[in-house]
Amino acid sequence: MREEYEKFVARDTEILIIGPEGPRRFKQVWEAERYPFVGFADYRHTVADRYGQEVNLLKLGRMPALLVVDKHGVIQFAHFGDDMADIPKNEDVLALLDRLNQGEVAR
């Protein structure tokens, strides 16, 4: 998403990354990676637990999750990965955002 961030911004989209690290480690990673979007540490797993994000210690911890929430706070799309590489392609998410911006419901 970082590489195509401008495409998300052009679709009036805010990206929020929630990481499992503690605040200090999260800040170190965030600054080292120079992410252009918003992020915060969820080291107590409050958000992850709330939305049912899986933790699998045999697969390196918290599995990837991507949720698209509309401007009314309604989750229009949810993807919960089966492994660390199971992340939707940017082109698919951008197409979904285009449909949502045209007034379609993603469900």
**Between 105 and 9, residue with greater pLDDT:** 9
pLDDT digits 0-9 by tens, 43-96 = 888 888 887 777 655 556 778 888 888 888 888 888 888 888 889 999 999 999
Q: Which amino acid would we find at residue 5?
A: Y
pLDDT for the residue numbered 58: 58
Helix (H, G, I), strand (E, B), or coil: what is residue 33? Answer: helix
Answer left, alpha or beta for residue 35, where phi above 0 means left and psi between -120 and 50 means alpha. Answer: beta
pLDDT on residue 4: 94
The count of other CB atoms within 10 Å of the CB of residue 16 is 11
Contact 20, 42 (CB under 8 A): yes
Phi-psi region of 22 (alpha: psi -120 to 50; beta: other; left: phi over 0): beta
Q: What is the pLDDT of residue 20?
A: 81
Domains in the chain: ranges and CATH: 5-100 (3.40.30.10)
Is residue 6 pLDDT above 60, yes or no? yes
Q: Which DSSP state fits 8?
A: H
Tokens describing residue 47: 């958000």
Predicted TM-score (pTM) of the model is 0.81
